[in-house]
Structure 1
Protein backbone atom coordinates (compact mmCIF):
# COMPACT_ATOMS: atom_id res chain seq x y z
CA UNK A 1 0.00 0.00 0.00
CA UNK A 2 1.40 3.38 -1.02
CA UNK A 3 1.20 6.43 1.21
CA UNK A 4 1.98 8.76 -1.68
CA UNK A 5 -0.11 11.93 -1.73
CA UNK A 6 -2.63 12.01 -4.58
CA UNK A 7 -3.37 15.70 -5.19
CA UNK A 8 -6.10 15.09 -7.77
CA UNK A 9 -7.92 12.65 -5.50
CA UNK A 10 -7.60 14.96 -2.49
CA UNK A 11 -8.83 17.96 -4.48
CA UNK A 12 -11.73 16.04 -6.00
CA UNK A 13 -12.81 14.85 -2.52
CA UNK A 14 -12.63 18.42 -1.21
CA UNK A 15 -14.59 19.66 -4.20
CA UNK A 16 -17.37 17.12 -3.55
CA UNK A 17 -17.46 18.02 0.17
CA UNK A 18 -17.67 21.78 -0.47
CA UNK A 19 -20.28 21.30 -3.20
CA UNK A 20 -22.44 19.06 -0.97
CA UNK A 21 -22.09 21.50 1.92
CA UNK A 22 -23.11 24.45 -0.28
CA UNK A 23 -26.10 22.53 -1.67
CA UNK A 24 -27.27 21.56 1.83
CA UNK A 25 -26.97 25.16 3.04
CA UNK A 26 -28.85 26.47 0.01
CA UNK A 27 -31.58 23.93 0.79
CA UNK A 28 -31.76 25.14 4.40
CA UNK A 29 -31.96 28.74 3.23
CA UNK A 30 -34.88 27.84 0.97
CA UNK A 31 -37.04 26.57 3.81
CA UNK A 32 -40.16 28.54 4.65
CA UNK A 33 -40.09 30.71 7.76
CA UNK A 34 -42.54 30.73 10.64
CA UNK A 35 -45.27 33.38 10.56
CA UNK A 36 -44.61 34.32 14.20
CA UNK A 37 -42.60 37.58 14.37
CA UNK A 38 -40.41 36.39 17.28
CA UNK A 39 -39.63 33.15 15.46
CA UNK A 40 -38.87 35.09 12.28
CA UNK A 41 -36.26 37.18 14.09
CA UNK A 42 -34.49 34.03 15.22
CA UNK A 43 -34.76 32.53 11.76
CA UNK A 44 -33.22 35.68 10.23
CA UNK A 45 -30.27 35.30 12.59
CA UNK A 46 -29.97 31.66 11.54
CA UNK A 47 -30.10 32.75 7.90
CA UNK A 48 -27.22 35.17 8.53
CA UNK A 49 -25.16 32.29 9.91
CA UNK A 50 -26.15 30.09 6.97
CA UNK A 51 -25.16 32.83 4.49
CA UNK A 52 -21.75 33.08 6.16
CA UNK A 53 -21.32 29.29 6.00
CA UNK A 54 -22.39 29.31 2.36
CA UNK A 55 -19.82 32.00 1.57
CA UNK A 56 -17.11 29.86 3.22
CA UNK A 57 -18.17 26.78 1.23
CA UNK A 58 -18.22 28.75 -2.03
CA UNK A 59 -14.76 30.20 -1.28
CA UNK A 60 -13.50 26.68 -0.59
CA UNK A 61 -14.92 25.55 -3.94
CA UNK A 62 -13.22 28.46 -5.69
CA UNK A 63 -9.86 27.62 -4.10
CA UNK A 64 -10.15 23.94 -4.99
CA UNK A 65 -11.12 24.76 -8.58
CA UNK A 66 -8.07 27.02 -8.87
CA UNK A 67 -5.87 24.25 -7.48
CA UNK A 68 -7.30 21.79 -10.01
CA UNK A 69 -6.48 24.31 -12.78
CA UNK A 70 -2.91 24.66 -11.46
CA UNK A 71 -2.64 20.86 -11.43
CA UNK A 72 -3.84 20.63 -15.05
CA UNK A 73 -1.38 23.37 -16.07
CA UNK A 74 1.56 21.77 -14.24
CA UNK A 75 1.80 24.59 -11.69
CA UNK A 76 0.37 22.70 -8.70
CA UNK A 77 2.63 22.74 -5.66
CA UNK A 78 4.52 25.86 -6.76
CA UNK A 79 4.18 28.90 -4.51
CA UNK A 80 2.38 31.68 -6.39
CA UNK A 81 4.39 34.31 -4.52
CA UNK A 82 8.00 33.11 -4.58
CA UNK A 83 7.91 30.29 -7.14
CA UNK A 84 9.47 27.76 -4.77
CA UNK A 85 7.88 24.36 -4.08
CA UNK A 86 5.08 24.27 -1.52
CA UNK A 87 6.03 21.84 1.24
CA UNK A 88 4.56 18.34 0.68
CA UNK A 89 3.25 18.21 4.26
CA UNK A 90 1.45 21.53 3.68
CA UNK A 91 -0.15 20.21 0.50
CA UNK A 92 -1.19 17.01 2.27
CA UNK A 93 -2.86 19.08 5.02
CA UNK A 94 -4.21 21.82 2.70
CA UNK A 95 -4.44 20.39 -0.83
CA UNK A 96 -5.55 23.75 -2.29
CA UNK A 97 -2.61 25.67 -0.73
CA UNK A 98 -1.06 28.09 -3.18
CA UNK A 99 1.64 29.51 -0.89
CA UNK A 100 4.64 27.93 0.80
CA UNK A 101 4.83 28.22 4.59
CA UNK A 102 7.20 31.17 4.43
CA UNK A 103 5.02 33.20 2.06
CA UNK A 104 1.83 32.26 3.89
CA UNK A 105 3.38 33.74 7.03
CA UNK A 106 4.20 36.96 5.18
CA UNK A 107 0.59 37.44 4.08
CA UNK A 108 -0.83 37.36 7.61
Structure 2
Protein backbone atom coordinates (compact mmCIF):
# COMPACT_ATOMS: atom_id res chain seq x y z
CA UNK A 1 0.00 0.00 0.00
CA UNK A 2 1.41 3.40 -0.94
CA UNK A 3 1.38 6.33 1.42
CA UNK A 4 -0.17 9.64 0.44
CA UNK A 5 2.39 12.34 -0.35
CA UNK A 6 0.54 15.66 -0.20
CA UNK A 7 3.35 17.69 -1.78
CA UNK A 8 3.56 15.35 -4.78
CA UNK A 9 -0.22 15.32 -5.12
CA UNK A 10 -0.40 19.12 -4.98
CA UNK A 11 2.49 19.45 -7.45
CA UNK A 12 0.74 17.12 -9.88
CA UNK A 13 -2.56 18.98 -9.51
CA UNK A 14 -0.79 22.31 -10.01
CA UNK A 15 0.84 20.99 -13.19
CA UNK A 16 -2.52 19.77 -14.52
CA UNK A 17 -4.27 23.09 -13.84
CA UNK A 18 -1.31 25.02 -15.31
CA UNK A 19 -1.33 22.95 -18.50
CA UNK A 20 -5.10 23.34 -18.82
CA UNK A 21 -4.87 27.11 -18.36
CA UNK A 22 -2.02 27.39 -20.91
CA UNK A 23 -3.98 25.39 -23.49
CA UNK A 24 -7.11 27.46 -22.98
CA UNK A 25 -5.19 30.73 -23.24
CA UNK A 26 -3.60 29.49 -26.45
CA UNK A 27 -7.02 28.61 -27.88
CA UNK A 28 -8.45 31.97 -26.84
CA UNK A 29 -5.57 33.70 -28.63
CA UNK A 30 -6.50 32.20 -32.00
CA UNK A 31 -7.87 34.67 -34.56
CA UNK A 32 -11.54 34.48 -35.51
CA UNK A 33 -12.80 33.60 -38.97
CA UNK A 34 -13.89 36.34 -41.35
CA UNK A 35 -17.31 34.74 -41.88
CA UNK A 36 -19.91 36.31 -39.55
CA UNK A 37 -21.69 33.00 -38.81
CA UNK A 38 -18.38 31.37 -37.93
CA UNK A 39 -17.45 34.33 -35.71
CA UNK A 40 -20.70 33.97 -33.77
CA UNK A 41 -19.97 30.31 -33.08
CA UNK A 42 -16.37 31.08 -32.17
CA UNK A 43 -17.48 33.77 -29.73
CA UNK A 44 -19.80 31.29 -28.05
CA UNK A 45 -16.89 28.86 -27.83
CA UNK A 46 -14.76 31.64 -26.33
CA UNK A 47 -17.35 32.11 -23.57
CA UNK A 48 -17.10 28.43 -22.69
CA UNK A 49 -13.30 28.59 -22.79
CA UNK A 50 -13.29 31.66 -20.54
CA UNK A 51 -15.44 29.81 -18.00
CA UNK A 52 -13.07 26.83 -18.15
CA UNK A 53 -10.09 29.17 -17.74
CA UNK A 54 -11.71 30.71 -14.66
CA UNK A 55 -12.14 27.21 -13.20
CA UNK A 56 -8.51 26.33 -13.90
CA UNK A 57 -7.32 29.58 -12.32
CA UNK A 58 -9.51 28.95 -9.28
CA UNK A 59 -7.97 25.48 -9.03
CA UNK A 60 -4.49 27.02 -9.16
CA UNK A 61 -5.43 29.37 -6.30
CA UNK A 62 -6.79 26.46 -4.24
CA UNK A 63 -3.60 24.48 -4.79
CA UNK A 64 -1.53 27.52 -3.85
CA UNK A 65 -3.46 27.90 -0.60
CA UNK A 66 -3.08 24.19 0.13
CA UNK A 67 0.67 24.49 -0.43
CA UNK A 68 0.76 27.36 2.07
CA UNK A 69 -1.14 25.27 4.61
CA UNK A 70 1.34 22.45 4.02
CA UNK A 71 4.32 24.76 4.55
CA UNK A 72 2.75 26.27 7.68
CA UNK A 73 1.76 22.93 9.20
CA UNK A 74 -2.00 23.29 8.80
CA UNK A 75 -2.47 21.03 5.79
CA UNK A 76 -5.10 18.39 6.38
CA UNK A 77 -6.95 20.40 9.02
CA UNK A 78 -10.46 21.58 8.22
CA UNK A 79 -10.51 25.34 7.73
CA UNK A 80 -13.93 25.56 9.40
CA UNK A 81 -13.93 23.21 12.39
CA UNK A 82 -10.21 22.47 12.76
CA UNK A 83 -10.68 18.70 12.77
CA UNK A 84 -8.42 16.52 10.60
CA UNK A 85 -9.62 15.91 7.05
CA UNK A 86 -9.85 12.21 6.23
CA UNK A 87 -6.77 10.99 4.32
CA UNK A 88 -8.97 9.31 1.70
CA UNK A 89 -10.63 12.68 1.00
CA UNK A 90 -7.23 14.37 0.68
CA UNK A 91 -6.04 11.62 -1.65
CA UNK A 92 -8.97 12.38 -3.97
CA UNK A 93 -9.05 16.17 -3.40
CA UNK A 94 -5.51 17.16 -2.36
CA UNK A 95 -6.47 20.85 -2.07
CA UNK A 96 -9.53 20.16 0.11
CA UNK A 97 -10.11 22.90 2.66
CA UNK A 98 -12.93 21.28 4.61
CA UNK A 99 -13.70 17.95 6.17
CA UNK A 100 -16.63 16.10 4.65
CA UNK A 101 -19.07 17.22 7.35
CA UNK A 102 -18.22 20.90 6.89
CA UNK A 103 -18.18 20.60 3.09
CA UNK A 104 -21.69 19.12 3.26
CA UNK A 105 -22.83 22.05 5.42
CA UNK A 106 -21.46 24.52 2.84
CA UNK A 107 -23.25 22.77 0.00
CA UNK A 108 -26.67 22.93 1.68
TM-score > 0.5 by shorter chain: yes
Runs of 4 or more above 2 Å deviation: none
1:24 aligns with 23
Structure 1 vs Structure 2 CA RMSD: 0.6
2:9 aligns with 10
CA deviation after TM superposition for structure 1 residue 58, in Å: 0.3
1:12-91 to 2 correspondence within 5 Å? 12-91=11-90
CA deviation after TM superposition for structure 1 residue 67, in Å: 0.2
CA deviation after TM superposition for structure 1 residue 35, in Å: 0.6
Q: Distance in 2 between matches of 1:98 and 1:89?
A: 14
1:96 aligns with 95
Q: Distance in 1 between matches of 2:40 and 2:85?
A: 46
CA deviation after TM superposition for structure 1 residue 15, in Å: 0.2
CA deviation after TM superposition for structure 1 residue 89, in Å: 0.5
Q: Distance in 2 between matches of 1:8 and 1:76?
A: 10
TM-score (norm 2): 0.98
CA deviation after TM superposition for structure 1 residue 53, in Å: 0.5
1:13-53 Cα distance to aligned partner (Å, 9 max, x none): 00011001001100000000001000000000000000010
Query: Which consecutive unaligned segments of at least 5 residues does structure 2 have?
Result: none
CA deviation after TM superposition for structure 1 residue 72, in Å: 0.2
